[in-house]
Amino acid sequence: MVEVRLEGVVKRFGRTTALKGIDLEVRDGEVMVLLGPSGCGKTTTLRIIAGLEKPDEGKVYFGDKDVTLLPPRERNISMVFQSYAVWPHMKVYENIAFPLKIKKVPEQEVKKRVKWAAELLQIEELLDRYPHQLSGGQRQRVAVARAIVVEPEVLLMDEPLSNLDALLRVKMRSEIKKLQRRVGVTMIYVTHDQTEAMVIADRIAVMSEGKIMQVGSPEEVYEEPANTFVAGFLGSPSMNLVEADAKPGNGMTAIRLGSGEIRIPTRLQGDRVIVGVRPEKILFVPSKEDQVELEAEVDFIENLGSDKIVHLRLGDTLLVAKTTETPPGSQGSRVRIYIRLRDLKVFRPDGERIL
Amino acid sequence: MDPETRARLWGVVRAFVVVLIMVWIGVPLAISILYAFADPQALYARTPVPLEYGLYQVKFLLFEAGAVDAVKNSVIVALITVALSFLLGLPAGYAFARYIFPGRDVLKLALIGVRMFPVMIIGVPLVALYARIGLSDSLLGVALAHTAMALPFVVLITSSVFTGVPRDLEEAGMVFGLGPVGVFTRITLPLALPGLAASGMFTFLLSWNEVFIAAVLTLTNRTLPAFILTSALASPDYFKFAANLIIVAPALLFVFLARRYLVTMWGITVR
């Protein structure tokens, strides 16, 4: 177990710059999830930590040791690949035992460790099979068993669940989290699935276009997004982000929101802002806290069973609300909506959070 | 036409084509094998197939005329050719499959371009060159010439075989403790083996069947095709059929055995 640190890591492929200066600190024993849309550089970051790619600039540290130029085998890491990369010419037992045999662990110890890993992942009865005789889920378990059997200092996972069906994915993600707790290894986990990230992560690094947009606990990045990218990427339906005119006044700011106006008790700079509010934070009954009140027209309602998605119209501004209660109006009716001041996020037009 | 009749019609057409191809290849093969064993007299009798059989011409070719030595020479030359062309071609094939380097595409094209030189033109200067460096009439000389002919194929085929080995599997090897050599010998090579064996088989047959260079470069140490070209073809028909059997049988046997072995490797059915 060890902490991992990236300093100013830049990676170029030909003319494109995949990573534009990544600074990241992964604490000892935590699960860091790299989250972002495809092409954001999360897998490249992981591969640089693994040593499968060399950065063009910047340094990678494991603890105090500079490992930037070390090959993968000298880093004491393990990895679960997106394709699992279980070797097809070896039986399951040999696959799991292989890393130990390379390290010249005595035969008795190898047997013990393989048995331990196989039990942990419930694949004891598969040890004598070839990978092509296994299902995707079973192969995935073999890949994880192979990764933990060496007791690595850092466990890297590259979208390990993306090739499983939805049900198995839900089951495996909590299992992986439990496993990590038991083994206590530092884990870096790449995914584009925000729910997976929320469940597994101690902290999430949200990435976009080769840069880290925000690092924080799942609650932090969800509740207090640092910019409009993070705000819009997390949550389903995603956060309402509305560009609006702002009028700074005396110790307050008035913001036009479609046909309505909200007043926030802070003086903001600039006359254009982006207002953000999560769908579930648009309330149909007043709360007991400081709040703003608006009038809106119900455009239409999607019923998802436990949740109802209410599409609202404030003049030419559209908002999406999510509620578990029966919505107060039907299509076409006018309703009053309430947003608590602490649920209002305000961003500069360039996307940076100002409130 | 309803789909069912169309499917049935397709079936008939396909069956017809299959039968045609079988007849095209099979009948001459069957006839020549049959005739190889026919009694020389019976071969010219006015019957649809010869009625009397014997081993006269096969035996004569093998033991009196020296075909056994020619087979031995052919095997030696083919094995040296496979060994040399793999020794040189395998690393090149791997490089083409895994690395992007300047001149890669040009080199690949040049490999095919080499094959555009007619062997006839190279033959004569090669005789002169071999005479100077003491390789004339030697098996090694023939094997070297065959290696030169086979090398472009070996490079291209092995490069496509290596491309078929997923990069992930090699990277997993690197992560779990292997260096570059270990990755190649313990991950890449075993996984590429079926394809490599097939390309080895191809190279073997290429050398086994090559007649021109072998005939030009040797005088006493003839390989089988060169031997047959210079001796059997100047003999009566029944010797030609026997010669045909001697050259085809080992190749058929070899392909048949190798295929059975290839298909069951790693318990996976290989493409």
Q: Please state the domain extents for chain A.
A: 4-233, 240-347
Q: Please indicate, yes or no, if residue B217 is contained in any of the structural domains.
A: yes
Chains A & B: contacts with CB separation below 8 Å = 61
The SS3 call for residue B217 is helix
> pLDDT at position B270, please?
43
Q: Please indicate, yes or no, if residue B18 is contained in any of the structural domains.
A: no
Chain B residue with minimal CA distance to A49? B175
> pLDDT at position A115, please?
95
Q: Please indicate, yes or no, if residue B257 is contained in any of the structural domains.
A: no
Res B220 pLDDT > 70: yes
Chain B residue with minimal CA distance to A84? B168
* A163 contacts in chain B (CB < 8 Å): none
ipTM: 0.85
Q: Which has more pLDDT, A47 or A14? A: A47
Q: Please indicate, yes or no, if residue B157 is contained in any of the structural domains.
A: yes
The pLDDT tens digits for B90-146 are 999 999 999 888 988 899 888 888 877 787 888 888 899 999 998 888 999 999 999
Verify whether the Cβ–Cβ distance B172 to A81 is below 8 Å: yes
Chain A residue with minimal CA distance to B193? A89
**CATH code for the structural domain at A4-233:** 3.40.50.300
> pLDDT at position B268, please?
46
> pLDDT at position B262, please?
60
Nearest chain A CA: its distance from B172 CA (Å): 6
**H or E element: which one contains A219?**
helix A218-223
Verify whether the Cβ–Cβ distance B177 to A73 is below 8 Å: yes
Percent of chain A whose pLDDT exceeds 70:
100
Query: Which of A50, A85, A132 has the CB atom closest to B168's CB atom?
Result: A85
* A88 contacts in chain B (CB < 8 Å): 169, 191, 266, 268
Verify whether the Cβ–Cβ distance B266 to A79 is below 8 Å: no
Chain A residue with minimal CA distance to B187? A87
The pairs formed by B35-44 with CB atoms below 8 angstroms and a separation of 24 or more are B35/B237, B35/B238, B35/B241, B36/B238, B36/B241, B36/B242, B36/B244, B36/B245, B37/B245, B38/B238, B38/B241, B40/B236, B40/B238, B43/B237, B43/B238
Nearest chain A CA: its distance from B252 CA (Å): 29
Query: Which of A85, A102, A132 has the CB atom closest to B177's CB atom?
Result: A102
**In which band, very low, low, confident or very high, does the pLDDT at A87 lie, cut at 50, 70 and 90?**
very high
Q: Please indicate, yes or no, if residue B194 is contained in any of the structural domains.
A: yes
* A72 contacts in chain B (CB < 8 Å): 171, 174-175
Q: Best residue in A87, A105, A144 to probe B by mutation, most B CBs within 10 Å?
A: A87
Q: Best residue in B170, B176, B270 to probe A by mutation, most A CBs within 10 Å?
A: B176
Q: How far is CA A11 from CA A44, A191, A347, B96, B131, in A?
A: 8, 20, 30, 24, 57
The pLDDT tens digits for A37-78 are 999 999 999 999 999 999 999 999 999 999 999 999 999 999
The SS3 call for residue A63 is coil
Q: How far is CA B51 from CA B30, B41, B67, B241, B243, in A?
A: 15, 10, 26, 16, 20
Average pLDDT, chain A: 92
Res A85 pLDDT > 80: yes
> pLDDT at position B263, please?
56
Query: Which of A82, A87, A146 has the CB atom closest to B169's CB atom?
Result: A87
Query: Which range among A199-213, A310-324, B201-215 has the greatest average pLDDT?
Result: A199-213
Mean pLDDT lowest among A18-22, A257-261, B174-178:
A257-261
Range of the domain at B195: 66-230
**CATH code for the structural domain at A240-347:** 2.40.50.140
Nearest chain B CA: its distance from A177 CA (Å): 22
- The average pLDDT across A278-299 equals 91
> pLDDT at position B261, please?
62
Nearest chain B CA: its distance from A153 CA (Å): 13
Nearest chain A CA: its distance from B195 CA (Å): 14
Q: Best residue in A94, A98, A140, A153 to probe B by mutation, most B CBs within 10 Å?
A: A98
Rounded to 10 degrees, what is the CA torsion of B72, B73, B79, B84?
160
The pLDDT tens digits for A320-339 are 999 988 777 788 889 999 99
Res A95 pLDDT > 80: yes
* B168 contacts in chain A (CB < 8 Å): 81-83, 85
Residue A322 near residue A237, CB atoms below 8 Å: yes
Nearest chain B CA: its distance from A44 CA (Å): 14
Round to whole Å and give the CA distance between B251 and A153: 55
> pLDDT at position A171, please?
87
Closest by CA position to A307, among listed A287, A331, A276, A279: A279
- The average pLDDT across B75-99 equals 94
Chain B residue with minimal CA distance to A99? B176
The pLDDT tens digits for A166-201 are 888 888 888 899 989 888 899 999 999 999 999 999
The pLDDT tens digits for A229-268 are 999 999 989 999 999 998 888 888 889 888 888 888 888 8
Round to whole Å and give the CA distance between A205 and A19: 14
Q: Please indicate, yes or no, if residue B203 is contained in any of the structural domains.
A: yes
Res A138 pLDDT > 90: yes
Res B269 pLDDT > 50: no
* A149 contacts in chain B (CB < 8 Å): none
> pLDDT at position A163, please?
85
Q: Please indicate, yes or no, if residue B235 is contained in any of the structural domains.
A: no
Verify whether the Cβ–Cβ distance B176 to A89 is below 8 Å: no
Query: Which of B175, B187, B267 has the CB atom closest to A78's CB atom?
Result: B175
Q: What is the DSSP string of A75-115?
A: S-EEEEBTTB---TTS-HHHHHHHHHHHTT--HHHHHHHHH
Res B267 pLDDT > 60: no
Nearest chain A CA: its distance from B164 CA (Å): 13
Q: What is the CA radius of gyration of chain A?
A: 24
Chain B residue with minimal CA distance to A154? B175
Round to whole Å and give the CA distance between A44 and A144: 20
Q: What is the CATH number of the domain that holds B217?
A: 1.10.3720.10
- The average pLDDT across A202-225 equals 96
Domain count, chain B: 1
Closest by CA position to A87, among listed B171, B134, B4: B171
